[in-house]
Every structure is written in C-alpha cells, then in structure tokens.
Amino acid sequence: MKKSNKKKTAKVLTTAMTTDLGDRSLNKQHNNRTIVIPKVALENCGCDTTTDKMSASVTLVQEPNGENYIKVKPKKCKEVRN
C-alpha cells in the first residue's frame, strides 16, 4: 500500500455563518435595559458558562448605508476550532 503525500488542509469559512437566536425582550433594570443571551450560544463561542463572572465587549456599529446594530463579543473565551 502506498501512502499519499498530500497534505491535509483545514476548511476555511468563506462566508459568515449566522445563527438566529430569536426575538429577545429588553428587560428594564434601574435606568438600563438588559438582554438574556442563551447559554448554548455562549458555549458555542467557547465560553465557560460554569463560572459566575463573565464579561463582554459591547459596540454600537453604524454602517454607512444607515444600518445600526449592537455587536456583543464575549471576553475571555477560548478560541473555537472546527
């Protein structure tokens, strides 16, 4: 049997993958609004959801085409590799 000398290459995503987490209510807490992010979504980002302390970077993005959205990026999460 001959062994193949071909190197295996990792698959690279060429387009962003989006997962719809459904409509979320913005609950009032003092003078702020809070939103609940599903535990599964955080786990899929590589976050350790067993710890009590978690933080995230929150950014308001205003696109030139007029689209506005809030970007939430959990901090201290391990990198997820496929």
Task: Report the pLDDT value the prediction gives residue 20, as an integer from 0 to 100.
Answer: 84
pLDDT on residue 81: 47
Residue 19 domain-assigned?
no
Is 82 among the domain residues?
Answer: no
Query: For the chain, how many structural domains are there in total?
Result: 1
Helix, strand, coil shares, percent, the chain, to 5: 5, 25, 70
pLDDT for the residue numbered 11: 67
Residue with tokens 């308001």, as numbered in its chain: 60
Q: Give me the pLDDT at residue 56, please.
A: 86
- Predicted TM-score (pTM) above 0.85: no
d(CA 56, CA 44): 15
Q: What is the pLDDT of residue 76?
A: 67
Summarize pLDDT for 22-35 with one digit per residue, the tens: 888 889 988 998 98
Separation between Cα atoms, residue 18 and residue 11, nearest integer Å: 18
Please identify every stretch of the chain with a pLDDT value under 50, giving residue numbers as ranges.
Answer: 80-82
- Tell me what pLDDT residue 52 has: 74
CA neighbor of 54 nearest in space, from 80, 72, 27: 72
pLDDT of residue 82: 45
Task: Quote the domain boundaries for residue 36.
Answer: 27-74
